[in-house]
Amino acid sequence: MRKYLTPLSKIYEGITLVRNKMYDKGILSSKDFEIPIINVGNLRVGGTGKTPMVAYLASLLSKDYRIAILSRGYKRKSSGFLLAGEKNASATSLGDEPYLLYRRFPNVYLAVDVDRVHGIQSLMNLTKPPEVILLDDAFQHRRVNAGLNILLTPYNDLYVDDQILPAGNLRENQDGSKRAQLIVVTKSPNDLTEEQEFEVAQKLEVGLDQTVFFSGIQYASTVNCTKGHIEFNELKNYRILLLTGIANPAPLVDFLKFHDINFEHFSYPDHHHYTNNDIIKIQTTFDKYEGESKLILTTEKDYVRIFALLENIYYLSIDAYFINNQKDFDQIIRTYVEKHSRNG
């Protein structure tokens, strides 16, 4: 099908190129803010590891600064600007990924607004405004001129190997990568060599003013639920029904298989809204499992959407970590924030 969609991709590419040129030449304006703004995004749709990277940055900076995370709130059932609080925080009102981040970082401002300029202005009007703003998935939202742009691309699905929508998965031409100061190759293998890193950097045609880092996925040592946790190593003794509604469940599936975890897998599309029929099918399948050592396992992103609908459901969380040069990455982030903060 891809070759038949190529003409449509050419049209889409032309539209995005014209739009970017208009921003580059100042015909369309980008707004600057007197606050450090770090933008985490990608060139393709879904599955690059944005949420773990935003979580990494929030963890890195929240000890020293008042942090806000601003997201679009994809597939949320609310509209306009919404600041998460005890009474309005849910996967429905915020979107699954923002709600996940809200649960992880209760002391960080979490807001959603499709209009990032309006969202930032609303945050800055708070009694105690944030000192740093993390933009989640706003690389193409060029109305905001972020001070530091971090572009993510998966190791096994680099943007240079992809095509523009709809023939491929890219939201814009590969030249858009030039707007990023930092490029992070996510989901990299743990045993990545310096030679492999160099080859990937060459393939990405990284500019002299850009720095490439390589990150991987680190799974938690426990699976968790609202009532407690189970050590991951104990899962070998359980009958497991695995639920995933994410763009690419392969790394999780491979991880479980590598550790000899036996499971039955129900896979759904990214950001899937679980229907009553889905719940009935899941529960009926699970009830047929014999014995008491059984559980439903899912991702943290799926868990925040479904935990109230099923019993015996646990999630396995993931974190981003840097394979090499983590201190260098952290220092770049801290230096940027210190230099551009109002107290800097």
Residue 126, CB-side half-sphere exposure with 13 Å CA sphere: 20
Tell me, yes or no, whether 80 lies in a domain.
Answer: no
pLDDT band with cut points at 50, 70 and 90 for residue 164 = very high
What pTM, to 2 d.p., does this model score? 0.93
User: Do 175 and 295 share a structural domain?
Assistant: no
Q: What per-residue confidence (pLDDT) applies to 205?
A: 95
Residue 266 pLDDT more than 60? yes
Asked whether 46 and 157 are in contact (CB, 8 A), the reply is no
Does 326 have pLDDT greater than 90?
A: yes
- Binned at pLDDT 50, 70 and 90, residue 86 comes out as confident
Domain match, 57 and 137 both: yes
Res. 36: pLDDT tops 70? yes
Same domain, 40 and 147: yes
154 with 284, same domain: the answer is no
Same domain, 306 and 327: no
- Whether the per-residue pLDDT at 110 is higher than 60: the answer is yes
Q: Is the pLDDT of residue 227 over 80?
A: yes
Query: Within this chain, do residues 203 and 240 fall inside the same structural domain, yes or no?
Result: no
| Confidence check: pLDDT of 76 > 60 | yes
Domain with residue 173: its CATH number is 3.40.50
Inside any domain, residue 17: yes
Mean pLDDT, the chain, whole residue set: 95
Percent of the chain with pLDDT over 90: 94
3-state DSSP assignment of residue 148: strand
As a whole number, mean pLDDT of residues 169-174 equals 95
Query: Is there a single domain that holds both residue 265 and residue 285?
Result: yes
How much is the pLDDT for 343? 55
User: Residues 209, 233: one domain?
Assistant: no
Structural domain contains residue 300: yes
298 domain residue, yes or no? yes
Q: Is residue 279 part of a domain?
A: yes
Q: How far is CA 5 from CA 16, 17, 111, in A?
A: 17, 18, 37
pLDDT per position as a tens digit, 88-107: 999 999 999 999 999 999 99
- State the residue range of the domain holding 260: 222-316
Asked if 143 and 16 sit in the same domain, the reply is yes
Kindly state whether residues 159 and 204 are assigned to the same domain. Answer: yes
For the segment 177-190, the average pLDDT, to the nearest whole number, is 96
Q: 261 and 147: one domain?
A: no
Residue 46 pLDDT grade (very low, low, confident, very high; cuts 50, 70, 90): confident
Other Cβ atoms closer than 10 A to 60:
16
Query: Does 228 reside within a domain?
Result: yes
Q: Is the pLDDT of residue 128 over 60?
A: yes
The residues, any chain, with a CB within 8 Å of residue 195's CB and separated by 6 or more, are none
Tally of structural domains, the chain: 2
| 136-162 confidence digits (pLDDT tens) | 999 999 999 999 999 999 999 999 999
- Would you state the structure tokens that stand for residue 211, as one six-digit string? 């720095």
Q: Give the Cα separation of 80 and 111 in Å (integer).
A: 10
| pLDDT digit string, tens, across residues 192-221 | 999 999 999 999 999 999 999 999 999 999
Answer whether residue 94 is part of any domain: no
In the prediction, which pLDDT does 240 show? 98
Residue 286 has pLDDT above 90, yes or no: yes
Residue 299 predicted with pLDDT over 80? yes
Same-domain status, 202 and 139:
yes
Mean pLDDT for 258-269 is 96
* Mean pLDDT computed over 239-244: 98
pLDDT the model gives residue 4: 80
